[in-house]
Chains A and B, each alone.
Chain A
Amino acid sequence: MAHTTHTVKRYSGLMDWLTTVDHKKIGVLYLIAGAFFFGIGGIEAILIRIQLIKPQNTFLDAQTFNELITMHGTTMIFLGVMPIIFALMNAIIPLQIGARDVAFPFLNALGFWTFFFGGLLLNLSWLIGSVPDAGWTSYVPLASTTYSTHHGVDFYVLGLQIAGIGTLLGGINFLATIINMRAPGMSFMRMPMFTWASFITSALILFAFPAVTVGLVLLMFDRLFGGNFFEVANGGNPILWQHIFWIFGHPEVYILILPAFGIISDVVSTFSRKRLFGYSSMVFATILIGFLGFMVWAHHMFATGLGPVANALFSIATMLIAVPTGIKIFNWLFTMWGGSIKFTAANLYAVGFIPTFVMGGVTGVMLASAPADFQFHDTYFVVAHFHYVIVGGLVLGLFAGLHYWWPKMFGRVLKEGLGKATFWMFFIGFQLTFFVQHFLGLTGMPRRVFTYLPNQRFDLMNLISTIGAIMMGIGVLMFLWNVLVTSLKPANASNDPWEDGRTLEWTIPSPPPEYNFKQTPLVRGYDAWWKEKMEGNTEMQPAEPVGSIHMPSPSILPFFMGIGLFIAGFGFMFAKDDFNNALLNGLFNNYVVAGVGLLITLTCMFLRSVIDDPGYHIEKEELEDKGVKA
């Protein structure tokens, strides 16, 4: 391929991380940022549990408690677990499909930085002193200016809108990557389950996030510009917010859990040393769950009085989801059946996931029954249910994925013994925390209330729950310790450190070179690498000769686009405040700050449009020098 050599500035150190468009580095950035927010959300959880350790505790006041539950939910879902999912998707999907890069490296970086600055904006509310306090669902009229007079909910709407842009871009990027960038022979029905699950998750992001963006815009217009969407006095309708929120919110929980299903499928199959049982039914079940996820939102709203017909329809639709989910559960069990199972730390998390998630699923079916839901509604039974699916499901899945792919991402295997100990600490802590909450709910303890009276049979169970939460906290610290200890070891993981790798990511070095595959591999079947191994091959067949590889240039623009939105967010939020300072008043009240922020972002978009990115090439000789085997 004839081409002119372009010299591209390649950065090192901090600038390298700020300008990177390499999906593996962006994956690491997502992991660090996600872990940071996960830590904040975790501390919030521990504070909530300390407040509830005994009746009439005065550790926190009611307002702080409301702020903590709001920020715990919002931070964990939007800023904690979703970025960690994106970290794994970034680090692994291009490798699993045999691609050198994602479809849109620049957008990928932009997605990260907008997510990061949105999350930062939301969490700066703690330092500025007015924190969101209307719950993670931010129901109106509680979240309207009538009942929430400070800037808390403004942080919520602006932070989540900015972070939401990043998530949407990420979703589009992964869809395009999986559709267009697969290696020769990697047909859709040969893709590993994690890639499939991420594909469906990305589609759900694409269709669900615009809805919440609109919902947040409506709430923002009501709060900042005097709109009437939810103002009953002027004809607005608060139920509308609930519908829009849950039309997004229900698919969101599938956005969270589907990647975990994918991780579990890959981990269970690898460590059972067997082909995944019922692969095509797994794919079908994933698609079906994705579709049904959009048709059940109103089961969050039984208590608003939808009428018997709607209640019955949404009950049945919700219970239907148990069918494809059941298919998955049995497929995992049948994969393990007769396999030669290795209980590595990753596999312990995966095996622990299965019964825990089943429990969350069963309480889900209980909640789907509208008459029963009137009893369960707003009690700790609901809290127990969704923590069983999100922590017992997704977080265990993420830990499984992190242990499994850590050597691929960082070239070092996490300490197995410590990993197993972490699993037991976290798993037992989790069951202690949330199992008793089912019974707290059935006994009648309402959620979102900052304290309770003694001798209502709540006392002991709350104590147990708090002890469990502290154990989970210790578990997370043990994991961090493991990361720290491991990072001090030499990076000497082999291509296939588990020795049972089945998919393409285990055919290349750990961590992979920036171009991933020296030669694009030829995929000859499902579990492509396993198939080659079974035929006695030690490497994949290449689909092309060794040649120079085209790479995209790094760019600082995504970082500044994120900063621009961050500044604009502050500008809009404080546009009507009186600062007792002529300069600040002049800047904020005339929308100068908001304008400058938007201008920064738009200028960066303009620059991106007019400046062509020729990229650069890694030459054949350079590839040979490294002596890297593809």
Chain B
Amino acid sequence: MSAPVHADGQWPHEPEKATLEGRNKVLGFWLFLGGEAVLFGTLFATFLALRNSIGDGPAASELFKLPMIAAATIILLASSLTSVFAVQALHQNRVKSMIQWLIATVVLGFAFLGLEIYEFVEYVHEGHTFTTSAFSTAFYTLVGFHGAHVLFGVVWITILIVQVQKKGLNLVTAPKVYVSAIYWHFIDVVWVFIFTVVYLMGKVG
């Protein structure tokens, strides 16, 4: 189904669900996110189990710098907002505006990644490496899994931006953009728990 617009020449209300392929894609992606919830739940469980096993390494309360975490949080929250604006533009068939919001999302995503990499490098300098303690291993695994998801997300959305510019916004590309936005919000939701459970609770001790 590669028709550029709907059968009656109008842009449908929910273009991502206007075709059977689109409905399958959106549903299948939600199912996948249900599985991702378990994946991150297990990683959080592992981290919680081992959060106090610091061995000879630095403790969370000495290590974490809250201003940087606050900045990362604001950046990711803002990227979620730009992403939802992109979906609004998608629903209203405003291609240019949608692409601008998507670009903003990608830029914010890269900013978040940059901060995270800077943070990790700092920690390694302070003697908090992957192999230091059970706590450090669990920390890098949980936060690193989230970071890898962010990286996958920005690459994915970038590819979609190029695709939409080449092929236009139609009933094939619309579900792809919609699904990537849902993914991006999910990453944001996971981050809310990471800054709460890992950083803030770690700072409290």
Contacts and interface: CB of A to CB of B under 8 A. Distances in A.
Interface string B139-158: 00100000000000000100
Interface in B95-125: none
Contacts of A175: 28, 31
Contacts of A192: none
Interface of A: prevailing SS: helix
Interface stretch (B38-46, B74-82, B187-195): B38-46
A17 B49 CA distance: 46
Interface in A184-216: 206-211, 213-215
A240 B132 CA distance: 19
Contacts of B43: 214
Interface string A543-563: 000000010000000000000
Contact of B50 (A168, A226, A235, A550): A235
A560 B159 CA distance: 21
B156 to A, nearest CB: 8
B61 interface: no
A356 interface: no
Contacts of A215: 42
A614 interface: yes
Contact of B23 (A180, A214, A225, A247): A180
B52 to A, nearest CB: 8
Contacts of B35: 168, 172, 206-207, 209-210
A404 to B, nearest CB: 29
Interface in B1-54: 1-2, 20, 23-24, 27-28, 31-32, 34-36, 38-39, 42-43, 45-46, 49-50, 53-54
B55 A234 contact: yes
Nearest to B43: A214
A235 B159 contact: no
For chain A, which range describes its interface: under 10, 10 to 19, 20 to 34, or 35 or more residues?
35 or more
A218 B39 CA distance: 12
A610 interface: yes
Given A214-B43, A610-B159, A234 B133 contact: yes
Contacts of B167: 612
Contacts of B38: 206-208, 210-211
Given A175-B31, A606-B159, A612 B53 contact: no
Contacts of B23: 180
A227 B42 contact: no
Contact of B55 (A107, A206, A235, A606): A235
A228 B42 contact: no
B53 A214 contact: no
B186 interface: no
A482 interface: no
Contacts of B182: none
Contacts of B172: 612
A103 B134 contact: no
Interface in B51-66: 53-55
A604 to B, nearest CB: 13
A207 B31 CA distance: 10
A235 B130 CA distance: 13
A54 to B, nearest CB: 45
Looking at B34, B46, B130, the one whose CB has the most chain A CB atoms below 10 A away is B46
B135 interface: yes
B134 A236 contact: yes
Given A180-B23, A228-B133, A235-B135, A214 B50 contact: no
Interface in A236-260: 236-237, 240, 244, 247
A498 interface: no
Contact of B28 (A173, A214, A222, A231): A173
B19 to A, nearest CB: 11
B55 A229 contact: no
B88 interface: no
Contact of A229 (B27, B31, B138): B138
A221 interface: yes
Contacts of B131: 225-228, 234
A172 B141 CA distance: 25
B137 interface: yes
B163 interface: yes
Contacts of A173: 28
Contacts of A180: 20, 23-24, 27
A172 B31 contact: yes
Contacts of B160: 609
Contacts of B163: 609-610
Contact of B31 (A206, A217, A235): A206
Given A176-B24, A235-B133, A236-B50, A227 B32 contact: no
A606 B158 CA distance: 11
Contacts of A168: 35
A408 to B, nearest CB: 25
A213 B141 CA distance: 13
A175 B55 CA distance: 45
Nearest to B28: A176
A237 B24 contact: no
Looking at B31, B45, B135, the one whose CB has the most chain A CB atoms below 10 A away is B31
Given A210-B36, A211-B39, A221-B137, 12 more contacts: A206-B38, A210-B42, A211-B38, A214-B46, A218-B46, A222-B137, A228-B131, A229-B50, A235-B50, A235-B53, A235-B133, A236-B50
Closest 7 CB pairs of A and B: A235-B53, A235-B134, A210-B39, A214-B42, A210-B38, A227-B137, A103-B24
Interface of A: 103-104, 107, 168, 172-173, 175-176, 179-181, 206-211, 213-215, 217-218, 221-222, 225-229, 231, 234-237, 240, 244, 247, 550, 606, 609-610, 612, 614
26 contacts: A107-B28, A172-B31, A176-B31, A180-B27, A206-B31, A207-B34, A207-B38, A210-B39, A211-B39, A215-B42, A227-B131, A227-B137, A228-B53, A228-B132, A229-B141, A231-B134, A234-B131, A234-B134, A235-B134, A235-B135, A237-B50, A237-B53, A240-B46, A240-B49, A244-B45, A609-B160
Interface of B: 1-2, 20, 23-24, 27-28, 31-32, 34-36, 38-39, 42-43, 45-46, 49-50, 53-55, 130-138, 141, 156, 159-160, 163, 167, 172, 176
